[in-house]
């Protein structure tokens, strides 16, 4: 088979196979702009928490810490609430969350169905205090269509509870912590069958096997890329601007094929960028993976090497009660303990905007001074090139699509082989994320090319919406020409 023949045959059959996917990705992408995959946002999370009641806290933080071994890497220790009861939550690296009731000291092992319903009803009642709320237990599960996210793994198994509110609300409650970790509504679920589930090829039967799902995305993306590249080559070779064809057209084709030819050339660049960035969204072949351990870097920041973490600040139950009563000018819904350089620190939370750091008794250094004194331990063998305080968002640290990122933050840039950046929350001192050179490249290849997360657009909605809808509409029209041509060709073949 000649190279020319191979070019035409590969484009024809890949086009037949991929034309439906291209049309589907365009329509579902527009739906996703307005209805994302179900998740519990930070605003929804805090709205569903009751303020902590000081008189109900009878257990000190050492209680839940005893559940972890002496050499365990503690990621988070929280005091929050579930079903109007105070609850300590402990997250140790590499393990699931563990819970302990702060009123009785009883560990949460496997939350019962009745307790899960009480937690869900209490959560919904806090969000909608003007309504009478009732709930019904549906099932206990490991994973279903709306709880496939990897971020829920440390909370499984989950209870699914229906809230009788007329909106088809369903809440997912962790059997390990008693916390509501996901919410969905009937309308949200319906739209997601036309949005995320189609766009990401997300049936739970496939998505629960992550490796297989990634391979499916890679194969489909590569097939789409080859189809577009071969089509662009054919389209350019058949395009004639001077002299034109006999009928005065720049295309030798007729009818729908002519529309396909012209629209394909106009849409080819956008199609290539969307398909390439979609492929990169799963990080194929570990192209964005780092050679260093983020976990080890965070541990060096949090702990002194070879020294066990010291007891938490405000470690007595009486101290905790005092924090709840007098610690903040807002209703305290959550207390977080974390460590910097082996020393404990406390922050109080009432919402994502209501955060207050509480210094330990006798402290003289500010939180920012402590952070600056410890950040060099993140990568001890490398130097710091730059430290920048962020009081507003920029190209690499920004909030979009309901993804909250706190301000102010500190950016620290190292001169290590990966040119690593870290972002640290200056309200709490906790590390927010890490960006190696590969992750910064991913930011442009995926976020930049796929969702057009450019400052000029994302800060100027509805400009971003109009551009995205225009591009998706153009590709959709082109995809329709592909579908029509594919149907016509297959019909001729069957005859």
DSSP string, 272-292: HHHHHHHHHTT-GGGTT--SS
Please answer whether residues 420 and 414 qualify as being in contact, where contact means their C-beta atoms are separated by less than 8 angstroms.
yes
Number of domains in the chain: 3
Confirm whether 139 is domain-assigned.
yes
- Taking the mean position of all CA atoms in its chain, how far away is CA 247? 53
Retrieve residue 98's tokens: 């563990």
**Is residue 182 located within the same domain as residue 111?**
yes
Indicate whether 452 belongs to any domain.
Answer: no
- Under 8 Å between Cβ of 423 and 433: yes
Same domain, 268 and 298: no
Residue 442 lies in a domain: no
- Output the pTM of the full model: 0.90
For residue 413, what pLDDT is reported?
Answer: 96
User: Whole domain around residue 29: which residue ranges?
Assistant: 3-36+204-287+461-494
Instruction: Indicate whether 23 belongs to any domain.
Output: yes
* Residues 28, 46 share a domain: no
**Range in 131-135, 143-147, 361-365, 444-448 with the lowest mean pLDDT:** 361-365
Dihedral of CA atoms 395, 400, 401, 402 in degrees, nearest 10, equals: 140
Angle, helix 210-238 to helix 3-34, in steps of 10 degrees: 120
Q: Are residues 48 and 184 in the same domain?
A: yes
Question: Which of 194, 222, 251 delimits the end of a domain?
Answer: 194
Structural domain contains residue 14: yes
Is the previous residue joined to 68 through a cis bond, with omega within 30 degrees of 0? no
Residue 341's CB: how many other CB atoms inside 10 A? 17
Summarised one tens digit per residue, pLDDT across range 238-264 is: 888 888 887 778 888 888 888 888 888
Q: What is the pLDDT of residue 461?
A: 79
The answer to whether residues 183 and 136 belong to one domain is yes
Residue 443 within any structural domain of the chain? no
Instruction: Tell me, yes or no, whether 281 and 298 share the same domain.
Output: no
pLDDT digit string, tens, across residues 264-321 = 888 899 999 999 999 999 889 888 889 899 988 998 898 866 545 556 777 788 888 9
Asked, for residue 268, whether it belongs to a domain, the answer is yes
Mean pLDDT of all residues belonging to the chain: 89
Residue 245 sits in the same domain as residue 161: no
Q: Note whether 230 and 357 are same-domain residues.
A: no
Strand partners, 340: 343
In this structure, the answer to whether residues 308 and 180 fall within a common structural domain is no
**Are 14 and 147 in the same domain?**
no
> Both 129 and 250 in a single domain?
no
pLDDT score of 279: 92
> Does some domain include residue 490?
yes
Give pLDDT tens digits for 403-421: 788 999 999 999 999 999 9
Residues 264 and 374 in one domain: no
Residue where a domain stops, chosen among 435, 450, 478? 435
């Amino acid at each position: 088979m000649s190279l020319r023949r191979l070019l035409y045959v590969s484009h024809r059959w890949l086009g037949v196979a991929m034309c439906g996917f291209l049309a589907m990705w365009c329509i579902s992408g527009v739906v996703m702009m307005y209805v994302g995959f179900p998740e519990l946002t930070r605003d929804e999370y805090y709205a569903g928490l009751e303020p902590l009641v000081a008189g109900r806290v009878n257990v000190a933080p050492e209680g839940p810490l005893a559940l972890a071994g002496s050499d365990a890497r503690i990621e988070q220790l929280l005091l929050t609430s579930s079903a109007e009861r105070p609850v300590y939550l402990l997250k140790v690296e590499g393990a699931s969350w563990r819970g302990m009731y702060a009123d009785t000291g009883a560990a949460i092992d496997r939350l019962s169905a009745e307790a899960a319903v009480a937690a869900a009803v209490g959560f919904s009642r806090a969000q909608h205090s003007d309504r009478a709320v009732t709930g019904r237990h549906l099932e206990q599960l490991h994973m279903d269509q709306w709880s496939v996210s990897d971020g829920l793994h440390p909370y499984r198994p989950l209870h699914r509870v229906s809230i009788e509110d007329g909106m088809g609300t369903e809440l997912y409650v962790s059997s390990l912590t008693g916390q509501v970790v996901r919410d969905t509504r009937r309308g949200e679920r319906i739209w997601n069958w036309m949005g995320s589930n189609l766009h990401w090829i997300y049936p739970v039967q496939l998505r629960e096997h992550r490796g297989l799902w990634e391979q499916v995305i890679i194969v489909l993306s590569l097939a789409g890329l080859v189809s577009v590249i071969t089509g662009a080559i054919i389209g350019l070779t058949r395009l004639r601007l001077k002299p034109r064809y006999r009928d005065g057209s720049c295309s030798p084709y007729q009818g729908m094929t002519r529309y396909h030819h012209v629209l394909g050339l106009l849409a080819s660049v956008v199609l290539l960028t969307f398909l390439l960035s979609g492929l990169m969204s799963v990080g194929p072949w570990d192209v964005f993976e780092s050679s260093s351990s983020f976990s080890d870097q965070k541990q060096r920041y949090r702990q002194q090497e070879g020294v066990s973490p010291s007891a938490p600040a405000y470690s007595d139950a009486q101290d905790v009660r005092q924090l709840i009563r007098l610690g903040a000018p807002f209703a305290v819904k959550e207390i977080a303990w974390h460590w910097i350089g082996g020393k404990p620190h406390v922050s109080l939370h009432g919402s994502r905007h209501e955060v207050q750091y509480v210094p330990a008794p006798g402290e003289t250094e500010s939180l920012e001074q402590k952070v600056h004194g410890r950040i060099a331990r993140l990568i001890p063998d490398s130097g710091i090139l730059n430290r920048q305080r962020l009081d507003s968002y920029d190209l690499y640290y920004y909030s979009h699509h309901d993804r909250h990122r706190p301000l102010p933050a500190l950016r620290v840039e190292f001169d290590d082989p990966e040119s690593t950046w870290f972002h640290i929350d200056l309200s709490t001192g906790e590390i927010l994320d890490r960006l190696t050179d590969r992750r910064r490249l991913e930011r442009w290849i995926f976020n930049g090319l796929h969702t057009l997360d450019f400052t000029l657009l994302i800060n100027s909605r509805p400009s971003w919406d109009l551009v995205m809808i225009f591009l998706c509409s153009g590709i959709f029209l082109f995809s329709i020409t592909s579908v029509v041509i594919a149907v016509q060709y297959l019909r001729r073949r069957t005859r």
